[in-house]
Amino acid sequence: MKLSVRGEYALRAMQVLARDYQEDDSVVRIQEISAKQNIPKRFLEQILNDLKSAGVVQSKRGVAGGYRLKRSPDQITLAEIIRHIEGPLAPVSCVSEKYYEKCSCPDESRCAIRAVMKELRDNIVQVMEATTLAALADRARALEQQPINPHDFMI
Amino acid sequence: MKLSVRGEYALRAMQVLARDYQEDDSVVRIQEISAKQNIPKRFLEQILNDLKSAGVVQSKRGVAGGYRLKRSPDQITLAEIIRHIEGPLAPVSCVSEKYYEKCSCPDESRCAIRAVMKELRDNIVQVMEATTLAALADRARALEQQPINPHDFMI
DNA sequence: ACAATCTCCACTGATGCAATAGATTTTTAA
DNA sequence: TTAAAAATCTATTGCATCAGTGGAGATTGT
């Protein structure tokens, strides 16, 4: 049920771009994202490139180059990012909306597991589609206001 | 976000054992589970052995041998099964209850991604812990009563 | 004794993940 | 116009995990 590191990096990078988003066409250097989030620069490069083909970010080349969100942060959801980087959000592909695949069980329509997995998928999709990068940036800004270790809740 | 095939097989096998569960000490042969669910026998063997060490099933050897649930189906949740076969239910391990691990981001307490992932984890855990094998078996029995393809909803 | 079953351990082939590397192109500033 | 900084593209590598296979042995019922 885990996200790949690749997917996690993608979200963390988008969080940075969303946090620093401005209406003009200012860009953020890979270098800077990499440093802020402890992500290997070369690897991040690949990920951002993927997100570019996906239409999530755009890039500017050259000495003053870098990346920026292609659309306004409130037009990009976490679901979109993960679907492009990782594929299906559904825990099993026989309940996936966008990546459906038949599974090996004898009768999908009578599979109780499948019914539960569908519930699970609905929950996951709901959270991921409801969360936009704009909301994420707001949350990040709110967290920055907090005092150091407000009660560093470890789970 | 996907379950491994291994995890899916584990759930499907447990569904069979739960469906056919009886209070006496009757067992189901691997052979039979394998045939009912289209799971490679040898592979299933490994999985059931794992679930035995985990205390979910017990086995009886010899000619009339097989597997049965070690506890009553209402005492076993899907969460328990997946945690033993796959590990953490959480999408990223920095929000895992049982398998917490520090992540590479600069400050977990101010990570907005983490806050969202926590929400997601709560949803997942809620569904998986709320669903017992007994509930699964009930659902399976209900689905068996349905006419063929009541409206084979494909997603 | 025999056959059916579980048990244990090892192995393999494929795949994908995470990361690294090198060469190239584009852009801007000096 | 040249050099530096940045993105781009392609390839490859080491590694781990996954999914599945294989064989020898132990246990049990008849």
For A74-124, write each residue's pLDDT tens digit. 999 999 999 999 999 999 999 998 899 998 999 999 999 999 999 999 999
Is B11 in contact with A93 (Cβ distance < 8 A)? Answer: no
Q: Of B59, B71, B63, B11, whose CA–CA distance to B37 is shortest?
A: B11
> With contact defined as beta carbons under 8 Å apart, do A17 and A57 qualify?
yes
> Distance between CA B13 and CA B7 in Å, rounded?
10
Q: Residue at minimal CA–C1' distance from C4?
A: B63
The runs of H, that is alpha helices, within chain A are 5-19, 30-37, 41-53, 78-86, 112-130, 133-145
Higher pLDDT, A99 or B154: A99
Q: What mean pLDDT comes out for the span B64-69?
A: 94
- CB neighbour list of residue B87: distance below 8 Å, 6 or more residues apart: A2, B99
pLDDT for the residue numbered B13: 96
Higher pLDDT, A1 or B13: B13
- CB neighbour list of residue A21: distance below 8 Å, 6 or more residues apart: A68, A69, A72, A73, A133, A137
Shortest Cα–Cα distance, B140 to chain A (Å): 5
Is A139 in contact with B78 (Cβ distance < 8 A)? Answer: no
Kindly indicate the confidence band of residue B147, based on its pLDDT and cuts at 50, 70 and 90: low
Is B37 in contact with A127 (Cβ distance < 8 A)? Answer: no
Torsions phi, psi of A132, nearest 5? -95, 165
Q: Of A78, A56, A75, whose CA–CA distance to A131 is shortest?
A: A78
Q: What mean pLDDT comes out for the span A18-40?
A: 92
pLDDT for the residue numbered B1: 86
Write out the two tokens for B154.
Answer: 């494909």
Kindly report whether the global pTM for this prediction surpasses the value 0.75.
yes
A52-65: pLDDT as tens digits: 999 999 999 888 89
Residues of chain B with pLDDT > 70, as a percent, come to: 94
Q: Of A148, A22, A124, whose CA–CA distance to A73 is shortest?
A: A22
Shortest Cα–Cα distance, A13 to chain B (Å): 10
Q: What mean pLDDT comes out for the span B50-55?
A: 95
pLDDT for the residue numbered A154: 47
pLDDT for the residue numbered A146: 74
Q: Of A26, A28, A34, A31, whose CA–CA distance to A9 is shortest?
A: A34
**In chain A, whose CA is at the least distance from the CA of B135?**
A112
> With contact defined as beta carbons under 8 Å apart, do B81 and B10 qualify?
yes
Look at residue B79 and tell me whether its pLDDT is greater than 90. yes
